[in-house]
């Protein structure tokens, strides 16, 4: 089922994911905004959801989240589940408008990021970690969401390219001749 | 077309269940997953190195913009800190040498006898939950999972993931981190005050002025009362014992034995008189503590107040140890020490007490690695015992070079194979 839908997309998705992961682990691990780590991989997942729908967003979230877990040494699947939720949320939000403006998509990406970031400690709590919540959780979620929205103009076209999504082409309905 | 079909829902549910399955397998330990993880980490290494090189100008530009003011403030604070610590360094080094000698004499293990590997921090946590850093040394350098990581200030964390050329260090503040520690009750008095508003003696400028005035008044009274006696004594002996400059300075360096450097009882104050030497009835000068030049002529020395402060280790008989478990609590929260018995007859825990690793056959760290100081104590009802919040010695936000102690607990050391 997955292979039929996304076999060709994964060829682009995995290298792009590796590059984003490397950027996350080098640049954004060092550059913090008010002490908060900006999540570029999570923003890409949300962008994929916003541009390709909840289904594609979920797959991208699962793949990149698993890669994230493998590199970071976190329990395999914990970040994958949170990122999957981020892709689903961004994809579902994108359904409210047929052809949303760029700023509306940025908001969808930001909200998807917020959902994913909020899910991370929830998953950790389910696997038995104590105190998984950062002391400044609202600030963390806010900054991650805003930074994701700011990065969305770059990440949305990138995610469309990865998933081979063409920009929607709307045509006016043919005029019907009066009976 | 329906926007949320059964097929789409199946995909999403399948992905979430796959995530849960992976999570279960990984938490229970799975060799296949570990192999995949290790292989992917190796594949990521060149990509990360390339990204590191390409993006280093961006990071430097950001750091120069973001950290300049902090660095300037820190630089000033560090200068003060160096001035403050320079005086106590010699005594501390001597104590450490004595300590190592005693351990060696008694065949006891010490931290200095354990090999270590120096490493550099090359990356921080990439999310906002985990408190981890990455270092540039791995299993090729003898590093293994579980080994403690320290820097000059004390304990930092432990290795949780070791690849061939890199390792992940879980910091002490991570909620998953815990380690047995000992609290040295009675060391709170050794805590030094902020030097910004104090003098080297630990007193403020106003307090020093008061002490000088008080000393002057007392000296004037003593001089008036002792003037006659001194004249008689000087007539009897040309050089009275105990009043030579050497004697005075010998008294001055009679240092206090232990305790708080801010405690006036631990400071020695010597006041030297001002003005020319007094003469006896015959007109001969009485040898008072004044300084002469090379020709023997007295030098006019203004009144000098010298305060000498020394911080020495407390009396070992006054030190009591309490054992507990230190646990991280995540970003922005100080770690806590739990499972304390808090029996007043054994040890009275208070703010400022030192925390060290306790060691033990199953502990992942050897004993006596400094960890931090108690900054808060919360008493709990029942048998829970008190909770201690601690301030770490190491600044985990600014880690650069660290040292991995190549230590394994006795329970995990492989026994040597016996040749048949």
Mean pLDDT of B189-193: 49
Phi, psi at residue B391, to the nearest 5°?
-105, 125
For B42, nearest residue in chain A (alpha carbons): A71
Instruction: State how far the Cα of B308 lies from the Cα of B267, in Å rounded to an integer.
Output: 6
What chain A holds in terms of domains, given with CATH numbers, is 9-28+36-163 (1.10.1760)
Q: Which residues of B touch A76 (CB under 8 A)?
A: 22-23, 25-26, 33, 37
Q: How far apart are CA B126 and CA B202, in angstroms?
A: 43
* Mean pLDDT value across residues A29-37: 86
Question: Which homologous superfamily does the CATH classification assign to the domain defined by B115-192+317-412?
Answer: Rod shape-determining protein MreC, domain 1 (2.40.10.340)
Classify each residue of B5-41 as buried b or exposed e, where b means 16 or more C-beta atoms within 10 Å of its C-beta.
eeebeebbeebbebbbebbeebeeeeeebeeebeebb
Average pLDDT over residues B255-283: 41
With CA atoms as reference, the chain B residue closest to A35 would be B128
- Chain A environment of B11 (Cβ under 8 Å): 1-2, 5, 55, 58-59
pLDDT over 70 at B241, yes or no: no
> Lowest-confidence range among A5-14, A151-160, B284-293?
B284-293
Structure tokens at B315: 């009396």
The shortest CB-CB distance from B20 to any of A54, A61, A77 is to A77
| Residue, of B216 and B162, whose pLDDT is higher | B162
**DSSP annotation of A133:** S
Which chain A positions have a beta carbon within 8 Å of B16's beta carbon?
A: 81, 84
> Which two three-digit tokens encode residue B128?
């906002």
B171: helix, strand or coil:
strand
- Is pLDDT at B250 greater than 60 in this prediction? no
Q: How confident is residue B297, by pLDDT bands cut at 50, 70 and 90?
A: low
Interface check for A9 against chain B (CB to CB < 8 A): the answer is: no
> For residue B414, what are its two tokens?
């492989």
Q: What is the mean pLDDT of chain B?
A: 71
pLDDT average, residue stretch A21-36: 88
- Is B20's CB within 8 Å of A81's CB? yes
pLDDT of residue B286: 47
Residue at token pair 């478990």: B325
Categorize the per-residue pLDDT at B216 as very low, low, confident or very high, splitting at 50, 70 and 90.
Answer: low
Tokens of A126: 């389910």
pLDDT at A43: 95
* pLDDT confidence bin for A57, thresholds 50/70/90: very high
User: How far is it, in rounded angstroms, from Cα A110 to Cα B373?
Assistant: 41
Say yes or no to pLDDT of A86 above 80. Answer: yes
d(CA A31, nearest CA chain B) in Å: 7
The DSSP call for residue B165 is S
d(CA B302, CA B125): 60
Q: How many CB atoms neighbour CB B287 within 10 A?
A: 17
Taking contacts as CB-CB distances below 8 angstroms, the residues of chain A near B168 are 72-73
Of A18, A31, A68, the CB nearest to B59: A31
Q: Which residue of B has its CA nearest to A140?
A: B128
Distance CA B143, CA B162 (A): 7
**B252 vs B140 pLDDT, higher one:** B140
pLDDT, tens digit, 9 for 90 and up, residues A102-117: 899 999 999 999 999 9
Q: What is the mean pLDDT of residues B145-172?
A: 89
Q: Average pLDDT of B184-210?
A: 51
Per-residue pLDDT, B126: 80
Tokens of B382: 């029942």
Q: Where are the CATH 2.40.10.340 domain residues in chain B?
A: 115-192+317-412
For residue A169, pLDDT beyond 60: no
> How many angstroms separate the CA of residue A97 from the nearest CA in chain B?
12
- A 60-119 residues with CB below 8 A of B? 61-62, 65-81, 84, 88, 95, 117
Whether B128 and A144 lie within 8 Å, measured CB to CB = yes
Distance CA B159, CA B168 (A): 6
Yes or no: say if B374 and B390 are a contact pair by the CB < 8 Å rule.
Answer: yes
pLDDT digits (tens, 9 = 90+) for B36-74: 988 888 898 899 889 988 888 888 888 888 778 888 888
pLDDT of B257: 33
Q: Which residue of B has its CA nearest to A16?
A: B47
Q: pLDDT at position B239, please? A: 43
CA A149 to chain centre: 11
Q: Determine whether the interchain pair A135/B161 forms a contact, defined as Cβ–Cβ distance below 8 Å.
A: no
> What is this model's ipTM?
0.80
Strand boundaries in B85-153, DSSP class E: 116-124, 132-135, 148-151
DSSP state of B298: B
Do A22 and B44 make contact, defined as CB atoms within 8 angstroms?
Answer: yes
**How far A24 CA sits from the closest chain B CA (Å)?**
6
More confident of the two residues B26 and B93: B26
Determine whether A31 is exposed, middle or buried from the number of CB atoms within 10 Å of its CB (0-12, 13-18, 19+).
middle
Which residues, including other chains, have CB under 8 Å from residue B73's CB and lie 6 or more apart?
none
């Amino acid at each position: 089922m997955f292979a039929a839908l996304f076999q060709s997309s994964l060829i682009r998705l995995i290298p792009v994911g590796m590059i984003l992961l490397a950027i996350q682990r080098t640049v954004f691990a060092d550059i913090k905004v008010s002490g908060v780590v900006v999540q570029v991989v999570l923003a890409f997942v949300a962008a994929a959801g916003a541009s390709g729908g909840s289904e594609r967003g979920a797959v991208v979230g699962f793949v990149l989240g698993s890669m994230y877990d493998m590199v970071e040494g976190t329990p395999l699947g914990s970040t994958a589940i949170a990122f999957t939720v981020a892709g689903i949320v961004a994809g579902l939000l994108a359904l409210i408008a047929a052809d949303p403006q760029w700023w509306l998509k940025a908001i969808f990406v930001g909200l998807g990021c917020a959902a994913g970031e909020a899910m991370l400690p929830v998953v950790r709590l389910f696997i038995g970690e104590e105190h998984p919540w950062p002391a400044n959780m609202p600030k963390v979620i806010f900054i991650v969401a805003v930074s994701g929205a700011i990065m969305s103009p770059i990440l949305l076209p990138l995610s469309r390219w990865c998933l081979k999504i063409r920009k929607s082409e709307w045509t006016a309905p043919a005029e019907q001749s009066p009976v | 077309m329906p926007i949320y079909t059964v097929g789409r829902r199946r995909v999403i549910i399948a992905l979430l269940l796959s995530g849960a399955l992976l999570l279960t397998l990984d938490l229970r330990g799975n060799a296949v997953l570990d192999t995949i993880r290790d292989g992917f980490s190796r594949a990521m290494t060149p990509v990360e190195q390339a990204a590191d090189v390409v993006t280093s100008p961006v990071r430097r530009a950001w750091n120069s913009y973001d950290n300049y003011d902090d660095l300037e403030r820190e630089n000033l604070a560090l200068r003060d800190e160096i001035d403050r610590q320079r005086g106590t360094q010699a005594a501390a080094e001597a104590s450490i040498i004595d300590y190592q000698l005693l351990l060696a004499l008694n065949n006891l293990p010490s931290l200095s006898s354990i090999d270590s590997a120096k490493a550099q921090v090359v990356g921080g946590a990439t999310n906002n939950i985990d408190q981890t850093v990455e270092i540039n040394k791995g299993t090729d350098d003898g590093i293994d999972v579980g080994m403690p990581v320290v820097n000059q200030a004390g304990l930092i964390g432990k290795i949780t993931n070791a690849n061939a050329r890199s390792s992940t260090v879980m910091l002490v503040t991570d909620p998953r981190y815990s380690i047995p520690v000992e609290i040295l009750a009675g060391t709170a008095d050794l805590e030094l005050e902020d030097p910004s508003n104090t003098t080297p003696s630990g007193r403020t400028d106003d307090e020093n002025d008061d002490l000088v005035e008080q000393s002057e008044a007392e000296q004037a009274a003593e001089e008036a009362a002792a003037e006659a006696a001194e004249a008689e004594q000087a007539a009897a002996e040309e050089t009275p014992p105990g009043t030579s400059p050497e004697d005075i300075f010998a008294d001055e360096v009679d240092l206090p034995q232990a305790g708080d450097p801010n405690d006036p009882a631990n400071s020695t104050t010597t006041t030297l008189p001002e003005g020319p030497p007094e003469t006896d009835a015959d007109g001969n000068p009485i040898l008072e503590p004044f300084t002469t030049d090379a020709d023997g002529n007295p030098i006019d020395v203004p009144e000098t107040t010298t305060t000498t402060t020394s911080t020495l280790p407390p009396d070992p008989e006054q030190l009591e140890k309490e054992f507990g478990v230190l646990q991280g609590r995540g970003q922005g929260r100080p770690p806590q020490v739990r499972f304390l018995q808090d029996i007043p007859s054994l040890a009275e825990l208070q703010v400022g007490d030192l925390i060290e690793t306790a060691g033990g056959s199953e502990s992942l760290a050897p004993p006596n690695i400094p960890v931090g100081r108690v900054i808060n104590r919360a008493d709990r009802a029942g048998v829970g015992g008190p909770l201690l919040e601690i301030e770490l010695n190491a600044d985990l936000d600014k880690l650069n070079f660290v040292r991995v102690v190549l230590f394994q607990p006795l329970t995990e050391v492989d026994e040597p194979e016996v040749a048949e």
